[in-house]
Structures are given as structure tokens and as C-alpha cells.
Structure 1
Amino acid sequence: MVEDGGIEYDVLVVGGGINGAGIARDAAGRGLRVLLCDKDDLGAHTSSASSKLVHGGLRYLEHYEFGLVRKALAEREVLLRSAPHIMHPLRFVMPHDSGQRPAWLIRAGLFLYDRLAPREFLPASRAVDLAGHRAGGPLKPAFTRGFVYSDGWVDDARLVVLNALDAHERGAEVRTRTRCVGFERHARHWVVTLEGDGGRKRVRTRCLVNAAGPWAGRVDAVASGAAPKAGRRLRLVKGSHIVVPRLFDHSYAYIFQHPDGRIVFAMPYEGVFTLIGTTDLDFTGDPDEVAIADTETSYLCALANRYFRRQVWPSSVVWSFSGVRPLLDDASDKASDATRDYSLGRDSAGAPLLSVFGGKITTYRRLAEEATDWIASSLVSARPAWTAGALLPGGDLFGAMPDKRGVLEFDRWVAALQRRLDWLPPGLVGRWARAYGSRVDTLLAGARSLDGLGAEIVPGLYAAELRYLVRHEWARSAQDVLWRRSKLGLHLPPGCADAIDAWIAAERAPSGGVALGVPA
């Protein structure tokens, strides 16, 4: 419906990564008419190529970024409570040797890390004798002491999708595979030309939000007609990760320091793998074409081999991924030292324009709240911020409000779900519980037997789940399903993608009842 003299939307958000999806969700929840669009899939780039951590950023303390660390630490438990199915606490082990910072300095840093923000349920840090600790077994004998501290794990790609889904359920329109190819700024509105499956279309919006990630500088310059201002210039940094067969059989993760000062994580991944990353390299190419370099693979393998008894080589790598982080250019000498804080470019020289520069997964909700506060003020909308006390879709395991029970009693909830769905393979129920939480019942759509799930399109992936992903989560290809909505691509044999693409094409055909990937 077109209202207010032809203005279809209050807010058009360019960019379907975590910041764009978060802003769309917050704005829709305040009653604003929102359109979120991305030229590719949701979270197709930086937001699905992170280290998968909800963390304060322990290493940022040595750069004196206390404000950023405090802000991120305050968000840690807020996020964990909001979506306990796709997030969970994670204990990190930091081995120590004589070549690193003195033990007393690390202990002091962890003491500060524990106290910069309140903790309700995450345990405090402590020193540990690795010779007698389970996490010490996979390490080389030289590492006899270390430290343990708390942070959190997140399925980053699903976090993006759940924010977009919540936005949609609160009234937002979400269009994937839709480019913004033209911007016309007027005194009180924008006219934006969109290009997607249905051709070109011009829409009018009262406010434009540029959350285009690595492309944010380009969008800001085109939309505003001006060169980037000081404090709004981006430094593009490539971060790469490798996945290898499991190097340890316990639930702890490791944080390793390379002799060059960089930090690398090694974490349990998908049950039978270990995730190792990340690198930090300045990037000047096309963000659409980013990929790990051989030197990065060798670097990560060498660092893992410095610590682990079991050695890995480039030939051990079963998967790798790279993303381009759009960091604020603070003139740091090294890419690894560049700030992970964010800046919001607020432009009121005509219809409002808000551009997002920088940021990290852990602070996305705070960033979105701050951005939407300004948007709401600019559009004279009085509804207050709300996301700090809200659950993401599927997170209502023990009630309608965020609660630590979802975090601390998640395994109990899964066990109850498996008893209720005892006609399903336990491994499938476990995977669904982590991916969909309480939305498992929406996925089942009333099915009460394995036959009710429809055909098994590829091993462990039934028609019911694919239909849910197409109709509710904007999945349009096997790539969306295998590497973003899930990580089934790591577990399935070659050739499965073709079968999934064929099924999706048939489902989305006119007779299938799904048009343009918009949820039913």
C-alpha cells in the first residue's frame, strides 16, 4: 500500500549482513515501514565469514580499547540469552610459554576482562595446570600452564537470517538478490531504483540506511555525492579460516599467540572438525572475489603445529573461507591492530542518510539500536528501543522473554524435544534444535512420521526442511542451504548440490507456490 503521497517505506536498508538485518529488525519493531535488500543472499559475505564468536575481544585490551571491550562484554550475555539455540558459552584455553607476555600481565588482563561488565552466568577466568587438565592433552609437552576464560560461540550466518526473519514477522519486506542501482535524494524522501528478478523498480523511502559492509564507502559516496569524511574511511581487511579434521576431543577452544603478535583461535566445529583462524591482511581487490591465499593456509597450519601434538598441513584442509572486514581506518600500522569499533555517519542534508562503518558481530544489536534511535528521531517516531529484552525467532525455549535458562538448560530442552520426536533420528533432532530452536514445530508442519517429512533429497536433508528454508528463510540455492543456513556441505558427499538446486527450482516454480523467495 502506498501512503503519504506515494512514500512506500519509512526506511530502506541497503545490505543484508548482520548490521543491516539488525537495523531492519529494530526499525520494524518500532512500527516503521522497512525494506531490506541485498544484492546477494543474506549474510553472503563478511557476516558468514567471521570467527563465529560472541566475545569482548581480549586482545583489544592491549590497544587500550576499554570502551569497545566493555560494550562488547555487556552484549555477550544479552545475545546468548536472546538466541540460546544458535549461541552457547565457550571456554577458551590460553597456553603460556616464556616467549609470551609475562604470566602476571595476562592474569591482570583477564582480571580486568572479567570485571569490565557484569556476568550473570559465564564463569570467571582462572589459571590452569595443563599437565593435569583435559585441554592440555592435545598440546605439546612444553605447554604446562595456561589460563581459562569465558566467551561465546555463534552461528553467524543463522544470526543474520534470524534477524531478517524477525524483521519480516514485524512487518518488514526482505528482498534478496536485489541491487540498488540508483539513488535520487530529495528534501524529504529518496527515490531508489532496485534491480532484481522482476526487473527494475523505483521505490520511495523517507530514510536510506547504508549497511553495505565492504561496499559501504562506495554506497555512501554515490548516495551523498561527496567523498568520505574523516572518521568514515574504511580499511578493508581480509580474514581467512581453515577447517581440518578434529584435533581434539573436548569442548574447550584455544587461543594461541603467534610469535609475530597475532592471535589465532582453534575451536571445535561441526562435531568432527576443528576451525582455525583468523588472518588479518589488508585487502584491495573485489570483495566478491575474496579467497584464502596459499600463504594464509600455510601460516595457520604452522601456528597450529606450534602448539598441537597432531600436525596439520595444507593437504589436511577440508574447507576454507575468507571474508573482507570493513574496519574503520584508524591509521594503525598493522591490519590486525585496526579498531573493531564502529561509527555511524549521520547525514541530514536532505532526506536522512545513515551509513554504517566498521563494527563486529558482538556489538551488532547495540549498533542497530543506536542507528534506529537516530532514524526514529529523524522521522519523528516515538517508539522506544526494545531489542535488549527480546528473543530472536526460535529462542523461546522456556518462555517469551530472554532468560538464562535457555543457555544453561539447553541440553535439557533438547532431550525433551528428542523424547517428543522419538520417531526421528536423534542426530537430526539435535541438528534441528541447534538451527531452529522452537521453530522445529514450524518446520515439521504437522508431520508425525518420517514419511511425513517428504523425500530425503540428500542424506539427512528432507523435503520438509528444504521447504521451510525456501518459504521462511529466503533460501534460493544449494549454496544458501549447505553453507549458510547450515554447514551440511561439510558432511555430504559431492554431487548433493545439484539435487538440492533441482528441488529448489521445482519448489519455486509457479506451481510450487513460492515467488521470488519471499516467505509465505
Structure 2
Amino acid sequence: MVRQAHDLFIIGGGINGCGIARDAAGRGYTVALAEMNDFASGTSSGATKLIHGGLRYLEHYEFRLVRESLMEREVLWSMAPHIIKPMRFVLPYHKGGVRPAWLIRLGLFLYDHLGGRKLLPSTKVLDMRTDPAGKPLKALFTKAFEYSDGWVDDARMVVLNARDAADRGALVMPRTKVVSARQENGLWSIETIDGLTGRAELHRARMLVNAAGPWVDAVLRSALRQNEARNVRLVQGSHIVVRKKFEDPRAYFFQNPDNRIIFAIPYEGEFTLIGTTDRDYPGDPKDVQISAEETTYLCNAASEYFNEPVRHEDIVWTYSAVRPLFDDGASMAQEATRDYVLKVERVDGSPLLNVFGGKLTTYRRLSEHALEKIGEAIGTKGNPWTAKSSLPGGDFPAEGYEAEVGRLKSRYPFLGDAHARRLVRRYGTRASALLGPAAAPKDLGRHFGAELYEVEVRYLIDHEWARSAQDVLWRRTKDGLLLTGEEAAAVEEYMAERPAEMAG
């Protein structure tokens, strides 16, 4: 089957590919996007789940990246106040630590003043002998610095960008692999195969965007036959999740003797997320998993701070991802630049944009810069628009989460408080569309466990391209942490019985 020609064909359904697709569709470009797996199934769901300036990047003089990141925190929060929330971070300090107090103060001063902060509170100093944040930590830490950043549901941010791109006219194709891309009669000719049906299609486009993340070089080598492509440095980051280590709503920023840092973050109500590691990764990104060495490192690093050690047996879940950093020749993985690089080349006259690097916090600005280059290559359409927009479900004030929870509970009084909060945190104003005319718990359909009901699974199938229990339990939600093995299997069975109903 041959599709009609598009302005843009985007390879990759991570945060960068979906962000570019959304921005371009909103400006009037015709857009197609292919993702070989599920959205956010690679790097974009394997992050530390922060919208942050990158305090540690100041040590590597990445002032442009830090300033752009700081400025984006409140922009993204206002775009998606359901999946993004402000969070305070506690950085414990003791004499003889890795970094002197004056250096930390200087870094935090820059952090407070580089990025046009308006809603987020500023840095302050804590006496850990009296502040509740000191309770879970060893008595060695009598002083700390507290600053602001944000938390994000990373996988949901990706799928909401994809959803909005599709709503604005983009052709969005998950589980669709690009087999080849070649120049033909002044257009790109792109062959794809649907991973579920095996159906082959031929697409034509004026410009190709390679936003395949860790696979960006693999796409250049396989689909475009550029055998010498070597542009990205693959760096593995791993995380562990343990039962809740502390009651305080603030997160911790821990400095390790090897100059690396880790976070300990309140996670999904009942857990603590600890990570990340940084090490070069030589294998195929699809095979990445936490190593025994990384597990021990994270347990030991956190145990240097917490009164109660973090043990291997405390771990309830782990995840790993490969970050595709632009290869700037840094000697150590943690020193490689986190900034993004956009390169346009012409292949037999047809423009190709390759996207290297990037991070969650700067995806919107990366997309805007990509649209500038796209405009130069094939002509400009529309103006930048996303800074004042809302992602689906995020059309309420940045500080309006509690009010939105109240509205949902008022409309659906049978919902428990925790259930209502989870629904608003995932779907925002679209929680009402999910629940529809439900008037009692029985109207939510089959109960799979925890607070996951059939009505939510159906919504994810019909509106967010979910096709497996993995999609539902570990990317669209994190209910996999709460369901038993039998309950998770029941979700898988339910979805397998309904392939004909699944519509993007």
C-alpha cells in the first residue's frame, strides 16, 4: 500500500520524535511518525523522571543547557500540571564532603537566578537536627540545602505528545519498523512493516527526521546504508525501586565519593526510587538491564546516607535504559554532554534531520529548534506555539491539581480519594472522559487489582495505543508495582481477547 506524500516522516516514538511530530502538526505540516515498538519503550521511560535544570551540569560548564532547562521547568509544568508536579530536593552536606559548601551555594545561586523562576520556591538552608528531612538520615548530616525542581511521569508525557500529534492530523504508527528509506524523484521513499500484522506500506515525504534515540546510528546504517555512522555514545542508566524509605514528600540529592550523584525520590505513593548510574554501554539497547554491579552500587551509595541500609532484598523493581548522548569525546560517561545536537544533511538532494542527545526537560525546545531547521529545508509553516499550549488533560492551572481532584470527586462521589488522585495525576481533565457515565464502582467494569478497572484499560486501548499488559502496567501506568502476578496475567488475557476492538 502506498500512502500519500507527507511533509515530514519521523522515525522514533520517544520524547523527541513525538515532540517534533506534535509541534510540526500544530503548525500545519503533514506528518507521519513510525515507532518500531511502543511509545517510550526505550530511553524515554527509563529516566529518573525529573523535570530539572541539571544542577550537576554546572560543574561541566554547560550553562546554555542548564539555563534552557531551568526556563523549561515552569513552561512544562503549566503545559501538563497533571503529569508534572513541583518537588523540593534536599542536598545533605557535611564537612569533608565531595564539594565544599561555597561551591554548592554558588551553584544553587545560579540555579535560582538563571532560569526566570516565578512559581517555584527558592533555595534555603536546613538544620537537619531539627528539620524532618534529617530523620531518615545518619546523624553525620547536620546541614542541608533545599531547592526546587519537578517530577514527571515520563512515559505518559511521551504518549500524550503522540496523542496530541494524532489529534492535530499526524499519522502515528506504533509497532511499525522502517525497513528502508531512499531518495526517489525528489522525495523520500520509506518502506515500513507493521509489527502486529506484517503489512508493508510505502510512504513518501519531503523530509526525513531520524529521532530514533539509541538507535539513531543503527537507522543510518540499516535503513539509509550509511555504514560509517558513529555519532552517539550509549550510556546506561539504571534505577532501583524499594518500599518507601521515608515519609517526607521531599526528594534527596546524594553526592558520592566518586563524584557521581544519585537521587532518592518518593515514587507512586508507596515506594522510593533510587538512581541513576552512568556507564558506557556496548550492546544492543533492547537488551539493556541492570547489572549486579549497578545494583550493589546504588544500594551502597544510598546506604551511606540512610540510617536504615538499602539491601538487595528491599528491591521490588528495577529498570534500565540507554541514553544516546552526542559523542563529544569525553573520557568518562558521566562527563559526556547532555545537550542535544541537530544535524541536517542532504541525501541525493533530499533533506534528512538527525537528532542526537537531548533530555526530557528540553524536549519542547529541541522540537522548536528542529522546526527551525525543517523550515529552512522545506519551507516554514506556522509559528512557535507549544509554550502556551496544554498537553491532553492538562488544561487547568499549574497549581490547580488539588482543585481538579476535588472536581472529579464531586462528579464521581463513589471514587476513593487515592483513586481520584491517581486518575487526575494520569489523565487530568480527561479522567471524566475515561469514567464516562459511571455512577457506582460496578460501572467501572472488571476489577483487575489495586485501583485498575476495565474502564481504564479500555480507555488506554482506544485512545493511547496500548496493546499489551506491559504497555498498561509499566508505561501508561505503574500499576505493575501493585498487582500480583496473577492479576497482571489477567490483564494480559483480557487484552489478548480484544484485538479486533483495538483502534488507534
Normalising by structure 2, what TM-score? 0.96
Name the counterpart of 1:245: 243
Q: Which amino acid aligns with 1:421?
A: Y
Equivalent position of 1:75 in the other structure: 72
| Separation in structure 2 between the aligned mates of residue 458 and residue 119 of structure 1, nearest angstrom | 41
C-alpha contact (below 8 Å) 2:98/2:256 kept by paired residues: no
- Of residues 458, 461, 468 in structure 1, which corresponds to 2:452? 461
Asked if the contact 1:7/1:206 (under 8 Å) is kept, the reply is: no
Alignment of 1:309-324 (within 5 A): 309-324=307-322
Query: Partners in 1 of 2:162 and 2:386 — Cα distance?
Result: 14
Q: Distance in 2 between matches of 1:409 and 1:309?
A: 36
Q: What SS does structure 2 have at the residue aligned with 1:348?
A: strand
| Cα distance in 2, alignment partners of residues 228 and 121 from structure 1 | 47
Contact 2:9-2:31 within 8 A present in 1 as well: yes
What do residues 275-323 of structure 1 show as CA deviations (whole Å, max 9, x unaligned)?
Answer: 0000001000111110000110100000111000111111111100000
Alignment of 1:422-441 (within 5 A): 422-441=413-432
Mapping of 1:360-375 within 5 angstroms?
360-375=359-374
- In structure 1, the residue corresponding to 2:395 is in which secondary structure? coil
- What's the CA shift for 1:207? 1.2
- What does 1:413-428 align with in structure 2 at a 5 Å threshold? 413-428=404-419
Match of 1:57 among 39, 54, 59: 54
Q: Relative to structure 2, which stretch is displaced further, 463-472 or 341-350?
A: 341-350
Structure-1 residue corresponding to 2:91: 94
For structure 1, the 5+ residue unaligned runs are: 398-405
CA–CA separation in structure 2 for the residues paired with 1:341 and 1:121: 25
CA distance in 2, matches of 1:497, 1:218: 33
Equivalent in the alignment of 2:281: 283
- Partner of 1:131: helix, strand, or coil? coil
- 1:187 deviates by 5.3
The aligned counterpart of 2:333 is 335
Structure 1 residue 65: deviation in Å?
0.7
Contact 1:373 1:385 in 2 (8 A): no
Q: Which moved more, 1:378-387 or 1:113-122?
A: 378-387
1:40 to 37, 41, 58: 37
5+ unaligned residues in a row in structure 2: which ranges? none
Q: RMSD of the TM alignment (CA)?
A: 1.6
Q: Mean alpha-carbon deviation: is it higher for 369-378 or for 270-279?
A: 369-378
Letter in 2 for 1:72: S
The answer on whether the counterparts of 1:340 and 1:359 sit within 8 Å (CA) in structure 2 is yes
SS of equivalent to 1:407: coil
3-state SS, counterpart of residue 350 of structure 2: coil
Equivalent position to 2:487, from 479, 482, 496: 496
Q: Bigger shift: 16-25 or 369-378? A: 369-378
**Alignment identity in percent?**
51
Residue 464 of structure 2 aligns with which residue? 473
1:58 maps to a residue whose letter is L
Matched residues in 1 for 2:131 and 2:10: separation? 49
Tell me the secondary structure at the aligned position of residue 307 of structure 1. Answer: coil
Deviations 1:220-250 (A, max 9, x none): 3445544567xx7110000000001111001
Amino acid in the other structure paired with 1:372: L
Equivalent position amino acid for 1:307 in 2 = Y
Equivalent-residue separation in structure 2 for 1:218 and 1:395 (angstroms) = 35
Distance 2:75 2:267 in 1: 23
**Aligned partner of 2:192 among 180, 191, 194:** 194
Shift of 1:100: 2.3
**1: CA distance between counterparts of 2:6 and 2:386?**
21
C-alpha deviation, 1:340, in angstroms: 0.3
SS of residue matched to 1:132? coil
| Cα distance change, pair 228–78 in 1 and its aligned pair in 2 (3 A) | farther
Q: Helix, strand or coil for the counterpart of 1:408?
A: coil
TM-score normalized with structure 1 length: 0.93
Aligned to 2:388: 389
Q: Secondary structure at the match of 2:126?
A: strand
Instruction: Determine the C-alpha separation between the residues in 2 that align with 1:356 and 1:331.
Output: 18
In the TM superposition, residue 424 of structure 1 has moved relative to its aligned partner by: 1.9
1:459 CA displacement? 4.1
Could you say which residue in structure 1 is the equivalent of 2:211? Answer: 211
Pairwise CA distance, 1:101: 1.4
User: What per-residue deviation string (whole Å, max 9, x for no partner) do you get for residues 24-47 of structure 1?
Assistant: 101111111111111110000110
Aligned residues: 500
Question: Higher mean Cα deviation, 43-52 or 309-318?
Answer: 309-318
Q: Distance in 1 between matches of 2:382 and 2:143?
A: 52
Cα distance in structure 1, aligned partners of 2:193 and 2:226: 24
* TM-superposed deviation, 1:376: 3.0
Tell me, in whole angstroms, the C-alpha distance in 1 between the residues paired with 2:496 and 2:5: 31
Cα deviation digits, residues 130-177 of structure 1 (max 9, x gap):
111111111100100010011000000000000000001001111111
Give, in whole Å, the separation in 2 of the partners of 1:382 and 1:85. Answer: 30
**Structure 1 residue aligned with 2:167:** 169
Matches within 5 A, 1:129-140: 129-140=127-138
Matched, 1:409 2:408: no
8 Å contact from structure 1 (residues 340, 360) kept in 2: yes
| Aligned mates of 1:415, 1:208 — CA distance in 2 | 45
Find the counterpart in structure 1 of residue 354 from structure 2.
355
CA distance in 2, matches of 1:190, 1:417: 47
Q: What is the aligned partner in structure 1 of residue 437 from structure 2?
A: 446
Mapping for residues 256-271 of structure 1, pairs under 5 Å: 256-271=254-269
